[in-house]
Amino acid sequence: MTAEDYRLARRLWHQLEPVHAVFWYAPEVFAEAAALGYEVKTRWPSYFAWRLAPLGAVGPRLAASACYSFSPHMVGAHVPAAWAVASPPQILAARERAVDRMYRALLGDLIDSPGLAEAADLAREAALAAGTAGRPLAAANADLPWPGEPHLVLWHAINVLREQRGDGHIAALRVHGVGGLEAHVLLALDMGMPAEKFGRIHHLPAPQLAAVIDGMRDRGLIGDDGWLSEPGRAVKQRVEALTDDLAARPYESLEPDELDELMATLEPLATLLLAAQD
């Protein structure tokens, strides 16, 4: 793998992610969650159901392992309770309906465009080439049957690639000795945001979050000023580089002109869906 391969993996991630991530905020998705019986005042009860259903009705320990960077207490508050609301097969069927409704509402006539169909075919080829050994969420999603319509194929392919990258990111964090909650502290501080205000950890009890930060300060990852130290920033960069390395391999199945085509067809979709999230 070359540095250019790593940059390619990151560029594709930045284009794939908006096309997928709109799912977590779309009203059509919340409507399907509510129809199943989930509380939708916040996204977390349905988030863990949507994300973990491909694994089956897992318990809190496996759920927390798969969702490494979340507080195990937070995960345990929703799993296994999620399976008492709806079974994994019911959730997966509703997930596909939600994707269909969401994309039809947001993409309009683009649903039937040749560009979207081309992006779906190329993303599927990359997803089929994604290694899933040691990557439980990627493997569970890759085992699901492929949908028939191009916009559903596109979301499913991106979901496999996204979870494949996410599983690799957990491996990279573990290699560099970064705990799950520490990963969010690193991300927040790298973004210039106090960890106490970061959405995925601001809910933690203050003593618990303070203990995480103090431990990172003791290891030299955070300076006395409360921001990332040079060693902390170097660890963050090494984690991201390894994540890109581990995420680059699926795209080797595509020829250079196919990669160019995939990025070209994704760009207008990503732009449109980013605007929708705003």
Q: Convert the pLDDT of each residue in 227-244 to its tens digit.
A: 999 999 999 999 999 999
Given this model, what pLDDT does residue 39 score?
A: 95
CA-based nearest residue to 266, from 113, 129, 149, 137: 113
- pTM of the predicted structure, to 2 decimals: 0.94
Q: Reply yes or no on whether the pLDDT at 162 is more than 90.
A: yes
Mean pLDDT of 165-175: 97
Q: How far apart are CA 62 and CA 64, in angstroms?
A: 5
Mean pLDDT of 16-36: 95
Q: What is the pLDDT of residues 79-115, one digit of tens each?
A: 999 999 999 999 999 999 999 999 999 999 999 999 9
Q: What percent of the chain has pLDDT over 90?
A: 86
Given this model, what pLDDT does residue 274 score?
A: 86
Dihedral pair phi/psi, residue 105, rounded to 5°: -70, -35
Q: How far apart are CA 119 and CA 258, in angstroms?
A: 10
Q: Reply yes or no on whether the pLDDT at 117 is more than 70.
A: yes
Given this model, what pLDDT does residue 161 score?
A: 97
Given this model, what pLDDT does residue 4 score?
A: 56
Sorted by sequence, the CB contacts under 8 Å of residue 184 that are 6+ apart come out as 69, 195, 198, 200, 201
